[in-house]
């Protein structure tokens, strides 16, 4: 079974600084997708960034970028120029499509605090 591990329950960063959130996963599949979702207190899961496993180039979305190491099964999220609005729970998620079934498997999350 696929598992996703986030070993940092909480992280803290000062405004305008850079922070990296860690994620590792376990799978025997060669083709899959990885995601980082943000969950603010409003509870709605918001997609931050995604990576397709067959692509070697790391995904970037404005201040958010990933370091995808397929052989090491590692998928970390880097947030640059942190803002107060970045404070939230961050979940790493994995998806493999088997025909029509396409569930997301989530880690336990990292709570990010942003301080002045």
Partner 1 sequence: EAGVAQSPRYKIIEKRQSVAFWCNPISGHATLYWYQQILGQGPKLLIQFQNNGVVDDSQLPKDRFSAERLKGVDSTLKIQPAKLEDSAVYLCASSLMGPRNIQYFGAGTRLSVL
Binding site for partner 1 (CB under 8 A): 4, 33, 37, 42-47, 50, 52, 91, 93, 97, 100-104, 106-109
CB 70 to partner 1: min, Å:
18
Residue 84, SS3? Answer: helix
As measured in angstroms, the least distance from the Cβ of 38 to partner 1 is 11
To partner 1, the closest distance from the beta carbon of 14 in angstroms equals 26
């Amino acid at each position: 079974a696929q598992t996703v591990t986030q070993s940092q329950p909480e992280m803290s960063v000062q405004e305008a600084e850079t922070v990296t959130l860690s994620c590792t996963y376990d799978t025997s599949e060669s083709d899959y997708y990885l995601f980082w979702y943000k969950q603010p207190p409003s509870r709605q899961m918001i997609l931050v960034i995604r990576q397709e496993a067959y692509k070697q180039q790391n995904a970037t979305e404005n201040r958010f970028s990933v370091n995808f190491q397929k052989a090491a099964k590692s998928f970390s999220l880097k947030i640059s120029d942190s803002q107060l609005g970045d404070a939230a729970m961050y979940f790493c998620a994995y998806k493999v499509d088997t025909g029509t079934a396409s569930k997301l498997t989530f880690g336990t999350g990292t709570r990010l605090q942003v301080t002045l």
